[in-house]
């Protein structure tokens, strides 16, 4: 099942397939270790529905929903 | 930019490079102790700290660079790291080597920056931190294998406990004498070729560029679109270079984005190293951080904790700082008066300079310390704890609507107490544009220095009515004043973020660090740094401004004014002496007033009266008229002293009635003299203020402030309050000949209510009061805020823009308020 990071449910694992978005955002996401092939999990969503907290490469990182939507994943 | 030549044979410099939240600051402090200074770089808002570590007989300068996840330079701030590594900043020495800090608990991501640093080929030592945190998560790192993989020594350190520091220093000392070797990463051949070609082209441009480029910089230029290096090189190389760069980028990309090619190569290499050097036990349960986060970021409990924590932060800055601030002001007021009292009496200017200019100014600087220290106490604890990221996580949704980020919340909240800690607190925001926007908005929040202005104006001109049966009108107006700033801030934020501070996207990629217990040492260090930097950097500017404003109020100090008032003083003295003489004649057979005051009996009666008054004042139950009732007590006291005195007293009673005693007559005459002298002093101060340069400015700008319903006196008071808004209260007191007053002073309130304009109509109406309040709600009349803004942004551009924009807004706001209120009949 393919989708974006923004569509994951809390606790759900996924594998990154692509990172899109404008050049600078894409670069920042890649630098933080979110790149194709990496496994990532949605930990929780903030009480107001945005941003979202993910666990990747053994650390946690928060992304806004709009940023998470730039990362396409396949659910695991 | 210059190539520093600080490195000598006996003196070395190393740069400390690492991600944020990896214990970089603690390591820096552990290595250098208290010997550190801040290096500001031109044109950027980040700074580096420079300190000195000692190893045996060698001194090693340590440069603590801002924490970063990557050397990619998309903004001038991000470029600091590379430029400092290359020694292109005058304020920091050229590093001979690097201490690369890697967090063992998130080693993969830390190594991303690590590979970029190792490509420079500077002698490098890895300091591996957070080994204990990693172990708790089942992660073990084999330092020998990691060292072999990276090709540089790896030392485990635990800075707070002092572990590994000596070994780190010894290793650094050793590697500094051996040139390093640039790390080679498995980039695709096309990519490598493009970097090499670009490097060759860059080297040819080095004269035009003004510095000698390096191969890793060629890589950065190839991958990073936009950014300062890109602009600089295009300027130096012209259109021909732009075409060449585009060709090389196309050649290197092989269909993928270059950022992806770079990330793939680095993380690919890191994965290979980690298979060998890192072991992770699978099936780790929920960590403590996960469990705590389940509560602290919970919809209900998390929000509740957040509201409580923020309430505590605000309450402490707003209310708890108050007694400390009052004591500081009191202390400096007293010191100023005392020290100026030591100066010769005829040196009036020097006395005023010392009391009002110097001590007033120093007190005006230090008075902000309690709020700054309290805010940074919370920031340091919450940041150390890891809660700052959670607070930002909770608030981001709301703040992002206004183009801000969750991290803007605490600085803006604190600004309701005082914009100075707010502006300083904005440094926790990583993104430059968001940080600048937050700093720009901080002075819009209604701070406690505006309260005196509101209190005075509301007390004098807003009727004590209730609206809707239960809301006090005065309180309602005060509440509205707090909203004026917020409502002006919202469109300002949106315009800023879409205009000047526009960035295509302001990513909110924020690491959520694991919770850690705050360390007292860390907290104290932050307090010391922030407090010290405020006093040193902002304090000097604030002091200078208060002396300038003092001078503008003092000079030209026309002596003719003094002479005129001295004449008045003299005639008051003469009148007083004549009154005393008259009493003497009536009371004791032809005594002069002077003799009367030397008469033991009269002096004793005066002393009795003083004692009685003191008792009455302490009591406060009765007023002065009641003193007459105590004639009997006085007479009884006097009787003991002299029968003759009693006789005279009785004689006097017969003549003046029972309510009068000689002591009271003398006291009344003395009080009368003191009153008229104070009136003369106050009138003189007002006359000097009128004639001062600042007064002349007030007259000159009168046509400008007329549409706001102000006259020259309010205009001048507004100008005089440039150092700090609350100064307007004191200035109004001086101009209205009341001497020293505060905002609750009934005399000042009454004077404002009775003040008339030149045409004889009341100067102040409700409309004028509202216009003054709106002006002060929106203006940036605070030298300290502007000084701190200049210090934090490292440029005068922002404070000047802030002052100009807010003054224009304040003027328009006051204009509209006055005209509308007057039209409505206010």
pLDDT tens-place string over residues B302-317:
889 988 988 888 788 7
Q: Which of A44 and B633 is assigned the larger pLDDT?
A: A44
Assigned token pair, B458: 């509301």
Nearest residue to B52 via CA among B30, B28, B35: B35
B109 occurs within a structural domain: yes
Domain count, chain B: 5
Quick check: is B684 in a domain?
Answer: yes
Strand order in the sheet with B47-55: B36-40, B47-55, B58-64, B11-18, B97-103, B124-129, B154-156
Both B805 and B686 in one domain: the answer is yes
Q: Distance (Å, rounded) from C-alpha B18 to C-alpha B107?
A: 11
Residue B83 predicted with pLDDT over 70: yes
C-alpha B312/C-alpha B46 separation (Å) is 29
In a mutagenesis test of the B interface, which of A54, A64, A66 is the best target, namely the one with the most B β-carbons within 10 Å?
A: A64
Contact B595, B688 (CB under 8 A): no
Give residue-wise pLDDT tens across range A28-62. Answer: 999 999 999 999 999 999 998 889 999 999 899 99
Q: Tell me, yes or no, whether B367 and B480 share the same domain.
A: yes
Structure tokens at B240: 């021909």
- Name the minimum distance, in Å, from the CA of A55 to any CA of chain B: 9
CB B409 within 8 A of CB B439: no
CB B682 within 8 A of CB B737: yes
Closest Cα of chain A to B508: distance in Å?
Answer: 6
Chain B residues whose CB is inside 8 A of the A30 CB are 259-260, 262-263
Taking CB atoms and an 8 Å limit, are A46 and B139 in contact across chains?
Answer: no
**Cα(B332)–Cα(B326) distance, integer angstroms:** 10
Full domain range(s) for residue B799: 678-823
- The pLDDT value recorded for residue B440 is 94
How far is B286 from chain A, CA to nearest CA, in Å?
Answer: 11
Give yes or no for a contact between B118 and B182, defined as CB atoms under 8 angstroms apart: yes
Mean pLDDT (whole number) for B254-278:
93
pLDDT band at residue B639 under the 50/70/90 scheme? low
Whether residue B17 is contained in a domain is answered as: yes
Q: Which helix (H) or strand (E) holds B717?
A: helix B712-720
Residues contacting residue B744 through CB under 8 Å, at least 6 positions apart:
B455, B459
User: And the tokens for B70?
Assistant: 């990557």
Q: What is the distance of C-alpha B297 from the center of its chain? A: 30
Q: With an 8 Å Cβ cutoff, are B109 and A29 in contact? A: no
Are B356 and B234 found together in one domain? no
Q: What is the average pLDDT score of chain B?
A: 83
ipTM of this complex prediction, to 2 decimal places? 0.96
Whether residue B39 contacts residue B54, with contact meaning beta carbons closer than 8 Å, is answered with no
Residues B642 and B536 in one domain: no
Judging contacts by C-beta atoms under 8 Å, the chain A residues touching residue B394 are 46-48
Same domain, B145 and B170: yes
Q: Kindly state whether residues B405 and B525 are assigned to the same domain.
A: yes
Could you tell me if residue B278 is inside a domain?
Answer: no
Whether the CB-CB separation of B110 and B19 falls below 8 Å is answered with yes
Residues 6+ apart with CB under 8 A from B337: B355
- Beta-carbon-side half-sphere exposure of residue B138 (alpha carbons within 13 Å): 9
pLDDT band, very low/low/confident/very high, at B609 (cuts 50, 70, 90): low
Of B6-10, B658-662, B812-816, minimum mean pLDDT range: B6-10
Q: In 3D, which of B53, B41, B43 has the Cα closest to residue B91? A: B41
pLDDT for B804 beyond 90 = yes
Q: Which residue has the higher pLDDT, B122 or B284?
A: B122
pLDDT for B659 equals: 45
Query: Which range, of B110-124, B139-153, B431-445, B515-529, averages the lowest pLDDT?
Result: B515-529
3-state helix, strand, coil in chain B (%, to 5): 70, 10, 25
Report d(CA B738, CA B195) in Å as an integer. 75
Is there a domain that residue B264 lies in? no
Q: How far apart are CA B134 and CA B278, in angstroms?
A: 11
Q: Is the pLDDT of residue B603 over 90?
A: no
CA angle B180, B183, B189 (to 5 degrees): 145
Q: End of a domain among B662, B677, B692?
A: B677
Q: Whose CA is closest to B305, among B382, B367, B406? A: B382
Q: What angle do CA B659, B664, B667 make, to 5 degrees?
A: 155
Give the confidence band of B644 by pLDDT, cuts at 50, 70, 90.
low
A residues 49-68 near B, CB within 8 Å?
A: 49-51, 53, 57-64, 67
With a CB-CB cutoff of 8 Å, which residues 287-316 of chain B face chain A? 289-290, 293, 297-299, 302-303
The reply to whether B463 and B509 lie within a common domain is yes
**Range with lowest mean pLDDT among B194-203, B334-343, B721-730, B809-818:** B721-730
The single-letter DSSP state of residue B486 is H
Angstrom distance (rounded) from CA B48 to CA B64: 5
Distance from A2 to chain B by nearest Cα, in Å? Answer: 20
The residue-averaged pLDDT of B266-286 equals 86
* Half-sphere exposure in the Cβ direction for B682 (13 Å, CA): 20
CB of B389 less than 8 A from some CB of A: yes
Mean per-residue pLDDT for B540-549?
Answer: 81
pLDDT at B75: 75
pLDDT band at B653 (very low <50, low <70, confident <90, very high): low
CATH code where residue B58 lies: 3.40.50.300
Instruction: For chains A and B, count residue pairs whose Cβ atoms are closer than 8 Å.
Output: 127
- Phi, psi (deg, nearest 5) at residue B730: -65, -40
Q: Which residues 499-518 of chain B have a CB within 8 Å of chain A?
A: 503-505, 507-512
HEC per residue, B287-346: CHHHHHHHHHCCHHHHHHHHHHHHHHHHHHHHHHHHHHHHHHHHHHHHHHHHHHHHCCCC
Judge if B794 and B712 occupy the same domain: yes
Burial of B804 (0-12, 13-18, 19+ CB in 10 A): exposed
Could you tell me the two tokens for B581?
């003489």
The percent of residues in chain B predicted with pLDDT above 90, rounded, is 27
Tell me, yes or no, whether B750 and B812 share the same domain: yes
Please check whether residue B289 lies inside any domain of the structure. Answer: no
Three-class SS string for chain A? Answer: CEEEHHHCCCCCEEEEEEECCCHHHHHHHHHCCCCCCCEEEEEEECCCCCCEEEEECCEEEEECHHHHCCEEEEEC
| Helices B369-385 + B321-342 axis angle, to 10 | 140
| Domains in chain A: ranges and CATH | 8-65 (2.30.30.90)
Is residue B525 located within the same domain as residue B670?
no
Bridge-based pairing of strands B124-129 and B97-103 is parallel
User: Which pLDDT tens digit goes with each residue over B684-717?
Assistant: 887 888 888 888 888 888 899 999 988 888 888 8
pLDDT at B506: 63
Q: Which of helix, strand or coil describes residue B97?
A: strand
Quick one: which of B6, B74, B72 has its CA closest to B39? B6
B331 and B310 in one domain?
yes
pLDDT above 70 as % of chain B: 85
Asked whether the beta carbons of A55 and B105 are under 8 A apart, the reply is no
How far apart are alpha carbons B488 and B729 in whole angstroms?
25
Give the residue from B445, B552, B432 showing the smallest Cα distance to B490. B445
Model confidence at B779, in pLDDT bands (50, 70, 90)?
Answer: very high
**Mean pLDDT value across residues B736-753:** 74
Nearest residue on chain B to A27, alpha-carbon basis = B259
The answer to whether residue B423 sits within a structural domain is yes
Confidence (pLDDT) at B663:
64
Contact B509 A62 (CB under 8 A): yes
Q: Residue A38: closest CA among chain B residues belongs to which residue?
A: B267
Q: What is the pLDDT of residue B314?
A: 78
Token representation of residue B112: 């991303």
B464, burial (CB in 10 Å: exposed 0-12, middle 13-18, buried 19+) = exposed
Residue B3, pLDDT > 50, answer no
Q: What is the pLDDT of residue B152?
A: 95
Instruction: Answer whether B274's CB lies under 8 Å from B102's CB.
Output: no
B75 within some domain = yes
More confident residue, B102 or B610: B102
Answer with the residue of higher pLDDT: B325 or B223. Answer: B223
Q: Do A60 and B108 touch (CB under 8 A)?
A: no
Report d(CA B98, CA B82) in Å as an integer: 12
Listed residues B641, B659, B677: the one ending a domain? B677
Most confident of B15-29, B539-553, B598-612: B15-29
Residues 252-281 of chain B whose Cβ lies under 8 A from any Cβ of chain A: 257, 259-260, 262-264, 267, 280
**Two tokens, residue B780:** 């940036």
Task: Find tokens 């090499």 and name the residue.
Answer: B196
Q: How far apart are CA B156 and CA B158, in angstroms?
A: 7
Write the pLDDT tens digit of every residue in B89-98: 777 888 999 9
Of B714, B813, B823, nearest to B480 (Cα)?
B813
Tokens of B13: 């410099």
pLDDT of residue B632: 60
- Note whether B591 and B731 are same-domain residues: no
Mean per-residue pLDDT, B24-43: 78
Query: Which A-chain residues 19-38 have CB contacts (< 8 A) with chain B?
Result: 19, 21-33, 35-36, 38
pLDDT tens sequence across B484-498? 999 999 999 888 877
């Amino acid at each position: 099942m393919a989708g974006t990071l923004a569509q994951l449910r809390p606790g759900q694992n996924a594998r990154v397939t692509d990172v899109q978005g404008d050049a600078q955002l894409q670069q920042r996401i890649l630098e933080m270790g979110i790149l194709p092939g990496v496994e990532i999990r949605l930990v929780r969503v903030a009480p107001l529905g945005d941003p979202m907290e993910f666990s990747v490469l053994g650390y946690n990182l928060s992304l806004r929903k709009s940023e998470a939507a730039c990362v396409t994943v396949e659910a695991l | 930019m210059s190539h520093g030549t600080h490195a000598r044979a006996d003196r070395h410099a190393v740069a400390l490079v690492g991600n944020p939240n990896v214990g970089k600051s603690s390591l820096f402090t552990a290595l250098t102790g208290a010997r550190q200074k801040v290096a500001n770089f031109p044109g950027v808002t980040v700074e580096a700290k420079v300190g000195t570590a000692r190893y045996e007989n060698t001194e090693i300068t340590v440069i603590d660079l801002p924490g970063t996840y990557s050397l990619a330079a998309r903004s001038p701030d991000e470029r600091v790291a590379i430029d400092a590594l290359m020694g292109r900043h005058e304020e920091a020495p050229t590093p001979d080597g690097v201490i690369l800090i890697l967090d063992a608990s998130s080693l993969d991501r830390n190594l991303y920056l690590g590979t970029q640093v190792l490509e420079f080929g500077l002698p490098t030592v890895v300091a591996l931190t957070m080994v204990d945190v990693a172990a708790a998560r089942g992660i073990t790192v084999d330092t020998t294998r990691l060292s072999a993989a990276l090709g540089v020594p790896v030392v485990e350190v635990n800075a707070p406990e002092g572990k590994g520091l000596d070994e780190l220093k010894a290793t650094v000392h050793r590697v500094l004498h051996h040139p390093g070797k640039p790390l080679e990463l498995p980039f695709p051949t096309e990519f490598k070729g493009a970097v090499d070609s670009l490097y060759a082209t860059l080297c040819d441009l080095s004269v035009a560029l003004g510095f000698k480029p390096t191969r890793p910089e060629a890589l950065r230029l190839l991958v990073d679109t936009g950014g300062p290096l890109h602009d600089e090189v295009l300027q130096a190389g012209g259109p021909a270079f732009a075409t060449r760069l585009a060709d090389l980028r196309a050649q290197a990309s092989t269909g993928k984005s270059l950022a992806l090619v770079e990330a793939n190569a680095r993380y690919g290499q890191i994965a290979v190293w980690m298979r060998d050097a890192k072991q992770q036990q699978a099936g780790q349960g929920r960590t403590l951080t996960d469990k705590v986060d389940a509560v602290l970021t919970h919809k209900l409990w998390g929000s509740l904790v957040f509201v409580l924590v923020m309430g505590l932060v605000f309450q402490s800055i707003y209310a708890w700082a108050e007694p400390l601030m009052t004591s500081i002001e009191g202390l400096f007021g007293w010191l100023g008066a005392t020290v100026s009292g030591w100066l010769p009496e005829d040196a009036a200017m020097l006395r005023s300079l010392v009391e009002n200019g110097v001590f007033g100014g120093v007190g005006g600087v230090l008075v902000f310390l309690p709020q700054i220290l309290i805010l940074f106490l919370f920031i340091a604890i919450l940041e150390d704890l890891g809660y700052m990221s959670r607070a930002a996580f909770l608030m981001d949704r709301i703040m992002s609507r206004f183009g801000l980020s969750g991290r803007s919340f605490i600085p803006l909240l604190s600004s309701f107490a005082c914009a100075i800690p707010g502006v300083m607190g904005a440094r926790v925001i990583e993104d430059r544009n968001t940080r600048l926007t937050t700093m720009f908005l901080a002075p819009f929040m209604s701070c406690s220095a505006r309260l005196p202005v509101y209190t005075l104006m509301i007390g004098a001109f807003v009727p004590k009515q209730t609206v809707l049966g239960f809301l006090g009108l005065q309180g309602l107006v005060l509440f509205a004043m707090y909203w004026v700033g917020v409502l002006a801030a919202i469109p300002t934020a949106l315009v800023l973020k879409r205009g000047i501070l526009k960035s295509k996207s302001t990513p909110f990629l924020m690491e959520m660090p694991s919770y850690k217990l705050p360390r007292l040492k860390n907290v104290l260090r932050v307090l010391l740094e922030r407090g010290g930097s405020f006093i040193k950097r902002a304090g000097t500017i604030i002091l200078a401004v208060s002396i300038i404003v003092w001078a503008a109020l003092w000079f030209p100090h026309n002596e003719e004014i003094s002479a005129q008032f001295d004449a008045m003083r003299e005639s008051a003295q003469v009148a007083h002496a004549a009154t005393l003489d008259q009493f003497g004649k009536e009371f004791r057979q032809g005594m002069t007033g002077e003799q009367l005051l030397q008469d033991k009996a009269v002096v004793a009666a005066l002393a009795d009266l003083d004692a009685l008054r003191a008792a009455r004042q302490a009591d406060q139950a009765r007023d002065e008229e009641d003193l007459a009732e105590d004639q009997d007590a006085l007479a009884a006291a006097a009787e003991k002293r002299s029968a003759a005195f009693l006789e005279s007293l009785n004689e006097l009673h017969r003549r003046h009635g029972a309510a009068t005693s000689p002591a009271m007559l003398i006291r009344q005459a003395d009080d009368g003299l003191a009153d008229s002298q104070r009136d003369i002093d106050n009138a003189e101060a007002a006359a000097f203020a009128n004639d001062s340069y600042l007064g002349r400015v007030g007259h000159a700008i009168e046509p400008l402030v007329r549409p706001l319903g102000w006259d020259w006196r309010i205009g001048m008071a507004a100008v005089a309050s440039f150092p700090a808004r609350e100064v307007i209260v004191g200035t109004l007191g001086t101009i209205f000949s009341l001497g020293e007053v505060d905002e609750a002073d009934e005399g000042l309130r009454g004077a404002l209510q009775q003040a008339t304009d030149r045409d004889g109509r009341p100067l102040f109406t409700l409309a004028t009061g509202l216009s003054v309040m709106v002006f002060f709600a929106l203006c940036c009349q605070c030298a300290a805020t502007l000084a701190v803004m200049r210090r934090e942004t490292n440029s005068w551009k922002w404070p000047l823009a802030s002052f100009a924009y807010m003054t224009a807004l304040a003027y328009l706001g006051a204009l509209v308020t006055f005209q509308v209120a007057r039209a409505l009949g206010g």
